[in-house]
Structure 1
Amino acid sequence: MVDAQFLQQLAAEAEEDGAQQLVVGAVVQHDGNILLLQRPADDFMGGIFELPSGKVEVGETLDVALTREVKEETGLDVAGISDYLGHFDYTSGSGKKSRQFNFAVDVVTAAPVTLQEHVHYQWTPLAVEPPVTDAVKGVLAMYREHQGL
């Protein structure tokens, strides 16, 4: 579990580094598979698969944003945040310097997955090279390391 002070420190460091937008991402695992969501073709970075993720709203803590985003994007309820898996920086579709903080989460149940913003989802085996960006591949490598895989 990650504590509140650590999360505050992560957000403060991002601001010091000039991040204009904070984003959270979740590695949702079930039965040795991870949940990936596919962006609509006409969206920023259309067609790629990604982790459930989204923007942190003003006044929101990273853990609250993570729980909200997983629920909004998948319909799944987060039971707990088990691990911090690092961050990566990128430029958003609107040109903002963004920092995505990534966490391993446990969900109450892995079904049903209900999509709101994505066109498809898939449960991908951890042993398979997933169809994601290099940044997300790095997050998944960290997840495997934390899991001893």
Structure 2
Amino acid sequence: MSPTVSESEFEDLSRQAEIDGTAPRVGAIIDRGGQVLLLERHDTGPIKAPLKLPGATVLPRESLAEAVARGVREETGLVVTGIRHHVGDFDYLSPDAHPVRRLHFAVDVATTDPIHLTAHARYYWAPLDGELRVTSSIRRILDTYRNLVLG
């Protein structure tokens, strides 16, 4: 059986974000045979925006686990069946200069298709060992994930 993130670990992560004065957001790593699901924003400019992991802003009174499941469902139509690992996080400033902590989790889903996008232009199944058009912060999260699953 895969390890799962405990309720106390979720609570500790939420509490630490609150202590640090950061708004929690979550991201999900969905793995399909060594490829991860990445989403592309709608973009009309000449420079392509980086790809992103599915995720969500944590709503008031919502647990991190609930936010992960909701974010994956809303952005992809996939159903989270388990949250295996807290892979890592990073802090940044939102466009309106508020501190945010993005917490990333490796998740299991009922099935990896079909994907129904609601807020993104397209999706990609990208190999973990390939060149990915992601931010350096997401690259570090994916590298940590790759090391976790490969041992």
Q: What's the TM-score, normalizing by structure 2?
A: 0.92
Tell me how far apart the structure 2 counterparts of residues 91 and 130 of structure 1 sit (CA, whole Å). 23
Matches within 5 A, 1:109-148: 109-148=111-150
Compute the displacement of 1:129 (Å).
2.3
Q: Tell me what 2:54 maps to.
A: 52
Tell me how far apart the structure 2 counterparts of residues 41 and 142 of structure 1 sit (CA, whole Å). 28
Compute the displacement of 1:40 (Å).
2.0
Length, aligned pairs only: 147
Compute the displacement of 1:47 (Å).
2.5
Q: Tell me what 2:16 maps to.
A: 13
Partner of 1:49: helix, strand, or coil? coil
Identity %: 38
Q: Tell me what 1:90 maps to.
A: 92
Tell me how far apart the structure 2 counterparts of residues 74 and 67 of structure 1 sit (CA, whole Å). 11
Q: Is the 8 A contact 2:25 2:102 kept in 1?
A: yes
Deviations 1:11-59 (A, max 9, x none): 111111111x2100000001221000011226xxx72200001100000
Q: Which runs of 5+ in 1 are unaligned?
A: none
What is the letter of the counterpart of residue 28 of structure 1?
I
Q: What's the TM-score, normalizing by structure 1?
A: 0.93
Please, which of 79, 96, 120 is the counterpart of residue 77 of structure 1? Answer: 79
Tell me how far apart the structure 1 counterparts of residues 123 and 30 of structure 2 sit (CA, whole Å). 12
Partner of 1:88: helix, strand, or coil? strand
Q: Which runs of 5+ in 2 are unaligned?
A: none
Aligned-CA RMSD value: 1.7
Q: Is the 8 A contact 2:35 2:127 kept in 1?
A: yes
Tell me how far apart the structure 1 counterparts of residues 141 and 67 of structure 2 sit (CA, whole Å). 18
Tell me how far apart the structure 2 counterparts of residues 123 and 105 of structure 1 sit (CA, whole Å). 15
Please, which of 2, 7, 10 is the counterpart of residue 4 of structure 1? Answer: 7
Deviations 1:81-108 (A, max 9, x none): 1111011001112321100000001111
Q: Please list every run of at least 4 consecutive aligned residues from structure 1 whose deviation after the TM superposition is greater than 4 angstroms.
A: none
Deviations 1:95-132 (A, max 9, x none): 21100000001111000111111111100011212110
